[in-house]
Amino acid sequence: MKRIFLLFLAFVLVFVFAGCAKKVVTAPVTQEAPKETAQKAAPVEQTPMKAEEPVTVAKAEPKKVETMPVKEVEAKSYQFGNILFDFDKYTIREDAKPTLKSVADWMIKNKDAKMILEGHCDERGTNEYNLALGEKRAKSARDYIASAGVTKNRLDTISYGEEKPLCKEQTEDCWQKNRRVQFVSGKAGK
Partner 1 sequence: MKKSVGCQVSGVSKNGAKDFCASALLRFCSAALLLFTVYCLLSTVADAKIYIDITSPAIKKLPIAIQEFSGTEGKQIADIIRDDLEFAGFFLSIDRAAYIEKSTEAFNPKNWTVIGAEAVIKGTVHGEQNLTAVVSLYDTSEAREVLRKEYKGARASIRHLGHSIADDIYRHITGEKGIFRTKVAFVAEDEGKKGLYTMDWDGTDIKRLGIKGNFVLRPHWSQDGSRIVYSSERGGQWGIYLLDFTKMTEKKVFSSRGLNISGNFSPDGDEIMFSSSQDETYGLYNLRFSDSKVTRITSARWIEISPAVSPDGKLVAFVSDRGGTPQIYIMNRNGHDTRRLTFEGSYNTSPSWSPENKKIVFVGRVSGKHQIFIISPDGSALTQLTDKWNNEDPSFSPDGRFIIFSSDRNGGSGIYIMRANGESQKKITPPWLRAFGPRWSPN
Binding site for partner 1 (CB under 8 A): 9, 12-13, 15-17, 19-32, 34-39, 41-48, 50, 57, 60-69, 88, 116, 124-129, 131-133, 135-136, 139, 156-160, 163, 187, 189-190
Smallest gap from Cβ 104 to partner 1, in A, equals 19
Report which of 71, 79, 91, 183 is spatially closest to residue 136, judged by C-alpha positions.
91
| Whether 185 contacts 79, CB under 8 Å | yes
DSSP assigned state of 163: S
Q: Which is nearer to partner 1, 31 or 77 (CB)?
A: 31
- Residue 125 CB, shortest distance to partner 1, in Å, is 8
Give the residue with the Cβ less far from partner 1, 61 or 94.
Answer: 61
Distances (CA, A) of 186 to 23, 29, 179: 64, 51, 23
Q: At closest approach, how far in Å is the CB of 35 from partner 1?
A: 3
Residue whose CB is less far from partner 1, 63 or 109? 63
* C-beta closer to partner 1: residue 17 or 98: 17
| Sheet containing 155-161, strands listed edge to edge, beginning at the edge strand earlier in sequence | 83-84, 180-185, 115-120, 155-161
Residue pair 51/187 in contact (Cβ under 8 Å)? The answer is yes
The DSSP bridge partners found for residue 159 are: 119
CB of 126 vs partner 1, minimal distance in Å: 5
